[in-house]
Structure 1
């Protein structure tokens, strides 16, 4: 039986990119279906994701939502280098990083700093400087927590690739497109060194959503 893998998602979503990055890293052939979560979603999509968010992964009819569950499944279901460590302590750090990213990085780095400094101006939507300032304040605490983990060396070390790296990379990519984000990251040498390495992986370029398409649209 030939595997059929399809990723339903919004190309500008960091979570869609995390899932795609994992598929690319595991060299899984897949189709892409564009879904705009900010428009009225069709009934059949709501059957795939009852909360109406993106992305959704479908593998031979088996549908999964929630990105962290999705990436773990991809790593387990397909051959290639394992992205989840066997050592329980290192695995715990990986899981911890993913949880920190989802709970403390996504909103300030992406929805506040990136969205109001980069995305909204491109799309002609109103931006709020106060949102950027609040996002930068919260981002500093999150970066400090991740810095301690990076310096520990188990994960986010720029050498061994785990799902934690693939979860964080799209967030940092968006965050550092804002000048404030670049400056903030430079205060954390462990994360800065990690980013210098991870930013060079070909899958990150291949999964780039190409914001310039918004200008021509």
Structure 2
């Protein structure tokens, strides 16, 4: 049995849900509301002491990193393969995965926190924020939540993050101008793992895909046409009242 611990608006959770949908795998789910700090509950910390989603439990075998989870799913369930069979194709997927893990995953957090999370956090009592931040096991994550709640993400960090994201889109544009998908002619985990980050950026007004990165815009349109995209669930982040789910 597969059980996925995830949050709907988490980009890394979206990666795994999309892979599960593409492979047509059934799973149980435990949805965490990160805005209510459910990732800090003792029961979840026992599963992932880093307090991060997603987490996959496959018959007691627990995995905690989204890119590794997707590789595992493709290996453990060979139907509907999501990586090329040849060594060169797999290497291309691995190169994109490295970029996603090292650049996209980190860079997207700062503008996302500033735009989507900060207004919500500012509605909470200081004591509630302070208590949650103290319980966060990762110091950098704690700092980001504290910054978002107090003064906002520093402008220099936002500028640097946007520069990284634009370089990533430039790189995608160069590849997708000649190839249908990121790793060549076949849809793969490179596309799946990148999808949530481009989807998130599509909601930022300063990213005009059609004008600035037309090949990326076409790629993104093809992604959205796939039935698995709708099944995976890609909600738009919004500011919500404290009593509601995010």
Given the two structures, how large is their TM-score scaled by the length of structure 2?
A: 0.74
Aligned pair in 2 of structure 1 residues 157, 90: CA closer, same or farther (>3 Å)? closer
Residue 40 of structure 1: CA displacement? 6.0
Aligned counterpart for 1:153 among listed residues 166, 172, 179 = 179
Residue 144 of structure 1: CA displacement? 1.9
| Corresponding residue SS for 1:180 | coil
> What is the CA–CA distance in structure 2 between the aligned matches of 1:122 and 1:167, rounded to whole Å?
27
Aligned pair in 2 of structure 1 residues 90, 158: CA closer, same or farther (>3 Å)? closer
| Structure 2 counterparts to residues 6-45 of structure 1, below 5 A | 6-36=3-33, 38-39=37-38, 41-45=40-44
In the other structure, the counterpart of 2:167 is 141
Contact kept, 8 Å, 1:7 with 1:57, in 2: the verdict is: yes
Aligned pair in 2 of structure 1 residues 24, 153: CA closer, same or farther (>3 Å)? same
Contact kept, 8 Å, 2:119 with 2:239, in 1: the verdict is: no
Contact kept, 8 Å, 1:140 with 1:184, in 2: the verdict is: no
Contact kept, 8 Å, 2:11 with 2:197, in 1: the verdict is: yes
Given the two structures, how large is their TM-score scaled by the length of structure 1?
A: 0.83
| Structure 2 counterparts to residues 16-165 of structure 1, below 5 A | 16-36=13-33, 38-39=37-38, 41-108=40-107, 110-121=108-119, 124=122, 127-128=152-153, 130=155, 131-153=157-179, 155-156=181-182, 160-165=186-191
Residue 151 of structure 1: CA displacement? 3.6
**2:219 matched to 1:194?**
yes
Residue 173 of structure 1: CA displacement? 0.6
Residue 205 of structure 1: CA displacement? 2.5
Aligned pair in 2 of structure 1 residues 40, 92: CA closer, same or farther (>3 Å)? closer
> What is the CA–CA distance in structure 2 between the aligned matches of 1:118 and 1:128, rounded to whole Å?
12
1:104-132 per-residue CA deviation (whole Å, 9 max, x = no partner) reads: 12232x21233323443466556558254
User: Where in structure 1 are there 5+ consecutive unaligned residues?
Assistant: none
Q: Which has the higher contact order (CA 8 A, sep 6+)?
A: 2
In the other structure, the counterpart of 2:2 is 5
